[in-house]
Amino acid sequence: MEKQEYLDLYYQMVLIRRVEEQAAQLYQQGKIGGFLHLYIGQEAVSTGLLSARRPEDRVITAYRDHGVAINCGIPAKHVMAELLGKVTGISKGRGGSMHMADVEKNFWGGHAIVGAHLPIAAGLALGDVYLKNPGITICMFGDGATNIGYFHEALNLSKVWNLPVLWVCENNKYGMGTSVERASAVIEIRQKAEGYGIPNSRAEGMDVLATRTAALKAMEFVRAGHGPFLLEYATYRYRGHSMGDPERYRQAEEIKKWQETDPIGIFHKYLLEQKITEKADMDAVDQRVADEVLEAVNFAESSPNPAPESLFNNIYAEP
């Protein structure tokens, strides 16, 4: 990789972190409604994974989607405007935090019913096969989603039909407040793929270069027409499941331990230690992100709300 590529990975992770920290503040000020699930701690997963994708590859994920949206190339201001429910939001203020999509960028959403987007992902891949499109479908979900029937129906179908899907499990150890140990028959989610004859691997999820390497390998397999692959990342979220989570289910020491491998911190250190970049480069990125977040907030706050007369728009394509 070139220096600029390293810096870009760093930039994307910092941007996600700062956008979300800002969003948490706006939530506390009552400017963001509904649920707000922060990705903070997991930035290396989506950033590394999606750095390996091609534009023709479709991306679909669950409700913890701000980071994925940014990694797909959606400008921070359109993410922020959606969080504020504005008409300039990426989903025109109809979706909110959990439902962001930009089909121009091949990002097919943020889906908020746990596991329900997995059969849809199989369908995206089916459509591409049927239409002879190039590209694969990258479907991200949490460990919690692997205990619901949709996961199993979708994995089975993807194998039966040999669909080009990369199943990506972000195992952050908790489905809401219930740990993997308490909710799943197996602790390593990748084992579940074995039952469907789907090749799989488990990778480190805090190191963006590791997530990228694992993704490149998995995507190569799927692109070659070998059918689906399941890639599990071991990761951790530093914030609660959503805002207002009392976090009675885990100890402060556990969070502290995982913070020692903060994806941004370790990558920052790595880039300097390996002399890939200089501190001035990183500072410049930090400044650029700060400016961008400020601009995003200004853009979102000054954008109009959707017009009342647009309430019924887009329920149907035809009257």
Partner 1 sequence: MTRITVREAISQALWEEMERDSKVFILGEEVGMWGGTYAVTKGFYDHFGPDRVRDTPIAEAAIIGAAIGASMTGCRPVAELMTINFAFSAMDHIVNEAAKLRYMFGGQFTLPLVIRTVGGGGRQLGATHSHTPDAIFAHFPGLKVVAPGTPEDAKGLLKSAIRSDDPILFIEHATLYQVRGEVPEGDYTTPIGKSKIQRSGSDVTIITYSKMLDVSIKAADDLAKEGIEIEIVDLRTLRPLDMQPVFESFKRTNRAVIVEEGWKSFGVGSEVATRLYEEAFDYIDAPIQRVAQKEVPLPYNRALEQLALPQVSDVVKAVKEVL
Residues in contact with partner 1 by CB under 8 A are: 89-95, 99, 101-103, 108-109, 111, 113, 116-128, 130-131, 133, 149-150, 153-154, 156-157, 160-161, 313-319
Q: How many CB atoms lie within 10 A of CB 224?
A: 9
- Residue nearer to partner 1 on the CB measure, 252 or 311: 311
Q: 222 and 56 in contact (C-beta within 8 Å)? A: no
The distance of closest approach from Cβ of residue 7 to partner 1 in the complex, given in angstroms and rounded to an integer, is 31
- Residue nearer to partner 1 on the CB measure, 224 or 311: 311
Cα 236 vs. chain centroid, distance in angstroms?
Answer: 13
Q: Is 253 helix (H, G, I), strand (E, B) or coil?
A: helix
The distance of closest approach from Cβ of residue 9 to partner 1 in the complex, given in angstroms and rounded to an integer, is 28
d(CA 90, CA 80): 9
Q: 36 and 27 in contact (C-beta within 8 Å)? A: yes
The distance of closest approach from Cβ of residue 239 to partner 1 in the complex, given in angstroms and rounded to an integer, is 24
Q: Which residues pair with 140 in a beta bridge?
A: 168
The distance of closest approach from Cβ of residue 131 to partner 1 in the complex, given in angstroms and rounded to an integer, is 6
Phi and psi dihedrals of 104, rounded to 5? -60, -30
Task: State the maximum Cα–Cα separation within the chain, in Å, rounded to a whole number.
Answer: 61
The distance of closest approach from Cβ of residue 8 to partner 1 in the complex, given in angstroms and rounded to an integer, is 26
Q: What are the DSSP calls for 163-180, one per residue? A: --EEEEEEE-SEETTEEH
- Residue nearer to partner 1 on the CB measure, 139 or 208: 139
The distance of closest approach from Cβ of residue 317 to partner 1 in the complex, given in angstroms and rounded to an integer, is 4
- Residue nearer to partner 1 on the CB measure, 24 or 129: 129
Q: 39 and 314 in contact (C-beta within 8 Å)? A: no
